[in-house]
Amino acid sequence: PSVGSVREGKGERYLWGVVITTSCLSLQVGLLSGICLIVGTMIGSGIFISPKAVLLETGAVGPCLCVWAACGVLATLGALCYAELGTMITKSGGEYPYLMEAFGSVIAYLYSWSTIMVLKPSSFAIIALSFAEYASTPFYPGCTPPIVVTKCLAAACILLIVLVNCLSVKLASYVQNFFTAAKLLIILVIIVAGIVLLAQGNTENLSNPFEGASTSFGSIGLAFYNGLWAYDGWNQLNFITEELENPYRNLPLAIIIGIPLVSVCYVLVNIAYFSAMTPTELLQSPAVAVTFGDRVLYPLSWVVPLFVVFSTFGAANGSCFTAGRLTYVAGREGHMVKILSYISLKRCTPSPAIIFNGILAVFYIIPADINTLINYFSFAQWAFYGLTALALIVMRFTRKELKRPVKCPMPIAALVVIVSCYLVLAPIIDKPELEYLYCTIFILSGLLLYFPFVHRKFSWTRRVMRPITMHLQLLMEVVPPEKNE
């Protein structure tokens, strides 16, 4: 047909010579894969990097272990709120649909804007950089790998994971399941080795656990930041609710099994670290898990960095898997360009959204400083976690008609809101820095795009984007999603 013409044929519509059809994401994630997504995304680089940062801020072994345990409790309480929200509003996209229902389009847009453009790709980049550091270290014995090598390897990791997630949901799930099993194996090895050392009498580091503890308001907040970075991922299953088989059963069940499992593992791993290293030695170690392996598992110490590589790769895969779904849902709702909501016709994956997230992550590895990114990532992320818990409370009064297969006690949601406020405000009050202001300005800057392009929907933007969307659709063989009511 001629350009711009529309004709009917065999139950399909044709526009500009392109078949206009729709597709949807298929239900391919079961209970086991859901648990593996939660566990595999939570256990990434954090438990192998964050122990130093948590100990540095708390100043002693006792409060360090208490922070790790408290972070697990907080993650579990937050996940209980998300279990109610996820079974009440069965849409993918994590916090996005909940904020949309409770507070309207503006708050949901600001969340999608900051998360899609900064939080998700920077998290992906941080994990990929951790993967690259551990993977390249054996090739440079006695010295630090060149930054160029590390960043090129991180970029290759990102591109490989993007390819896997674009090819098949099942393939991405199999990759996630395999690497989750691998990381649980190395966690088990570290825990068993720690138990053996404690049984042999190596308990001196745990004898006066609260000596020299820090009581600073801001330091405890920063310790929680770094601990919660290791726990981040407890909400990942809510990003793929539409692809989860029987979400009313599998979503809360995966949360109940996955998060306590990770919490117990993290506390026991930290105890194992202190059975082999003093607090000073742990702080001086460039890679805590590797140092532990060198001391305890020799001559099999090479196993630890290998499995840490597996762990970080699996966490990066989970991060990419869920980030693509948020971008896809935001595009479907009109908060991002439409092409990001399209689905591969052959493979039923949101490939444009996944590719977009991967490209941003590659850009973020260029200037990345891991510790700085963790702090600012947590500052913004916990603001949205608090808003989401508040959304649960608000909808108890404004959306009483919605069915709630899982009901979280109101005091738990209120506690999550209060703790979120503390985690957002404590470091700012204790040690004000311009970076927090920059982060806030960036989030609010999304309004400059929201009002002309989303709220007013200027016609000229459609004329500009329509041919671009068409050519990208032809190039990637993607189609619009079915309407999700």
251 has a pLDDT exceeding 70: yes
CA 76 vs CA 21, 79, 254, 315: distances in Å: 41, 5, 12, 19
Q: What is the arithmetic mean of pLDDT over 206-228?
A: 77
Q: Is the pLDDT of residue 368 over 80?
A: no
For residue 324, CA distances in Å to 21, 165, 172, 317 come to: 21, 9, 12, 11
Q: What is the mean pLDDT of the chain?
A: 83
Full-model pTM: 0.84
3-class secondary structure, 224: helix
Model confidence band, residue 12 (pLDDT cutoffs 50, 70, 90)? very low
Task: With cut-offs at 50, 70 and 90, classify the pLDDT of residue 14.
Answer: very low
What gap in Å lies between CA 72 and CA 258, rounded to an integer? 11
Q: Where are the domains of the chain?
A: 31-479
Length of the chain (residues): 485
Between the CA of residue 233 and those of 27, 40, 373, 383, 425, what are the distances in Å? 21, 8, 16, 16, 22
Question: What's the CA gap between 395 and 448, in Å, rounded?
Answer: 28
| 31-479: CATH topology | Amino acid/polyamine transporter I (1.20.1740)
pLDDT band at 156 (very low <50, low <70, confident <90, very high): very high
Q: What is the pLDDT of residue 377?
A: 62
Q: What is the pLDDT of residue 97?
A: 92
Q: What is the pLDDT of residue 268?
A: 92
| Separation of CA 53 from chain center | 19
The better pLDDT of the pair 163, 6 is held by: 163
Ranked by mean pLDDT, the top range of 200-209, 266-275, 471-480 is: 266-275
> Would you place residue 49 in the very low, low, confident or very high pLDDT band (cuts 50, 70, 90)?
low
Whether the pLDDT of residue 462 is over 90: the answer is no
Determine the average pLDDT of the residues in 369-378.
60
Rounded-to-integer distance, Cα 191 and Cα 235, Å: 26
Q: What is the pLDDT of residues 293-315, one digit of tens each?
A: 888 888 877 888 888 889 889 98
Q: What confidence score (pLDDT) does residue 23 get?
A: 55
CA trace torsion 97, 99, 100, 106 (10° rounding): -140
What is the pLDDT at residue 391? 94
Distance of alpha carbon 436 from alpha carbon 439, whole angstroms: 5
